[in-house]
Amino acid sequence: MSSTIGKTITCKAAIAWAPSEPLSIEEVEVAPPKAHEVRIKILYTGCCHTDAYTISGKDPEGNFPVICGHEGGGIVESIGESVTTVKVGDHVIPLYTAECQKCKFCISGRTNLCSSVRTTQGMGLMPDGTTRFRARGKDILHYMGTSTFSQYTVVADVSLVAIDKSVSLDKACLLGCGITTGYGAAVKTVKVENGSVCAIFGAGCVGLSVIQGCVLNGAKTIIAIDTNDTKRSWADMFGATHFVNPIDIGNKSIDEYLVDSFDGGVDYAFDCTGNVGVMEQALIWGKLCVIGVAAAGQKLSFKPFLVVTGRQVVGTAFGGIKGRSELPDLVQLWQNGQLKVSEYITHERKLAQINEAFEAMESGNCIRTVIDMRTA
């Protein structure tokens, strides 16, 4: 039995004390899990643009001080009372999209957005309305129900999934957000059909994962659109059939270009930029799937005639994937060689260097940085 069970653990975490400040690596006290909670030793975490968005202060739901991070992998250190979903020693992926399998939404068959911990998660708290983190004598908030930028974190028992122990957590952690989101958007939310024509705006981690989903579902034409030319080779590697940099198409707007070049437009368009101007241009024909997180206060606006005449707009969180029941299938897909995962890792850093991950994100040549959380 672990000597830490039932005790507060002091470890290192990257704390965001205030908006737009660098993360501060310091000691944090992590309380033991209460009933229906699980404490996880985080070994690795990816850094997602949504973390950067919240840390920047642009997220209206962003509260401080907070421990961000939602793309992690780790090992269950201890469980609270009544936890039956995982056991000590399980290898797990924390889930920012919980799955209680009991609420109206979980049993609806129509969404992966579970309501069980939604309210408290949005406030940075555990389901009982309190936090398990303290530093400098102050309570520190949780983030997206996961807080993977801490060497130990506590999550609700509906907010994690056990995966096969043979799988490398330094790569599997990426299934906690970006890859699953893009893949799920194509395969689960939109259900791209064989022979479809698809346009993917933004070829970062999420967009490349949409491309993977389109390839797996047999899309005929997969057009990656990105303002950063370095993304061309990435899009090629993941299976895009075309790459367009909107800067290179002369006087035409990107929607005009796509309509002219692809016989009236595309069946499916995916926004993976978070830019509402891009989303509006992507409503060309067929269905637009909004994945990107737009900055606070931004609004999407289009003529109703566009939907009257058949265009559809959908959105997706975590690609519509139900984490506890469906994420193990993605792990299997990866292990079978049908889903790329390790290919996304362009940078690796230690916890002490976590701010470099956010600098790399801004540089334009980073797909994902994986942080090794095992030492500070």
Ligand X SMILES: NC(=O)C1=CN([C@@H]2O[C@H](COP(=O)(O)OP(=O)(O)OC[C@H]3O[C@@H](n4cnc5c(N)ncnc54)[C@H](OP(=O)(O)O)[C@@H]3O)[C@@H](O)[C@H]2O)C=CC1
CB-closest chain residue to ligand X? 204
219 Rama sector, left if φ>0, alpha if ψ -120 to 50, beta otherwise: beta
CA-nearest of 218, 251, 226, 208 to 344 is 208
* Exposed/middle/buried for residue 138 (C-beta within 10 Å: 0-12, 13-18, 19+): exposed
Strands 138-140 and 133-135, sheet pairing: antiparallel
113 touches ligand LAXINWYW (CB under 6 A): yes
Asked if 311 and 279 count as a contact pair (C-beta separation under 8 A), the reply is no
Instruction: Report the residue number, 62 or 178, with the smaller CB distance to ligand X.
Output: 178
106 touches Zn ion (CB under 5 A): yes
Rounded Cα–Cα distance for residues 130 and 35 (Å): 13
State how far the alpha carbon of 240 is from the alpha carbons of 235, 251, 272, 288, 350, in Å: 5, 24, 15, 18, 33
Rounded Cα–Cα distance for residues 133 and 115 (Å): 23
Instruction: Report the residue number, 97 or 227, with the smaller CB distance to ligand LAXINWYW.
Output: 97
Asked if 157 and 263 count as a contact pair (C-beta separation under 8 A), the reply is no
Rounded to a whole number of angstroms, the minimum distance from the CB of residue 318 to ligand X is: 5
317 touches ligand X (CB under 6 A): yes
Alpha helix ranges (H) inside the chain = 49-55, 118-122, 169-172, 178-184, 205-216, 231-238, 254-261, 276-281, 304-308, 323-335, 354-363
Paired strand residues for 25: 14
Number of chain residues interacting with Zn ion (CB under 5 A): 8
119 touches ligand LAXINWYW (CB under 6 A): no
- Find the binder of ligand X among 12, 36, 39, 49 (CB under 6 A): 49
Rounded Cα–Cα distance for residues 376 and 371 (Å): 10
206 touches ligand X (CB under 6 A): yes
340 Rama sector, left if φ>0, alpha if ψ -120 to 50, beta otherwise: beta
- Find the binder of ligand LAXINWYW among 52, 88, 249, 317 (CB under 6 A): 317
Contact set for ligand X, span 146-165 (CB under 6 A): none
The 10 Å Cβ neighbour count of residue 29 is: 16
88 touches ligand LAXINWYW (CB under 6 A): no
Rounded to a whole number of angstroms, the minimum distance from the CB of residue 183 to ligand LAXINWYW is: 14
CA-nearest of 157, 160, 210 to 185 is 210
Instruction: Report the residue number, 92 or 177, with the smaller CB distance to ligand LAXINWYW.
Output: 177
Instruction: Report the residue number, 247 or 296, with the smaller CB distance to ligand LAXINWYW.
Output: 296
Residues designated catalytic:
48-50, 70-71, 100, 103, 106, 114, 118, 177, 368
Rounded to a whole number of angstroms, the minimum distance from the CB of residue 293 to ligand LAXINWYW is: 4
* Pattern 138-177, Zn ion, x by CB under 5 A: ---------------------------------------x
Contact set for ligand LAXINWYW, span 20-79 (CB under 6 A): 48, 50, 59-61
Interface residues with Zn ion (CB under 5 A) are: 48, 50, 100, 103, 106, 114, 116, 177
Interface residues with ligand X (CB under 6 A) are: 48-50, 53, 177-178, 181, 201-207, 225-228, 231, 246, 272-275, 278, 291-293, 316-318, 364
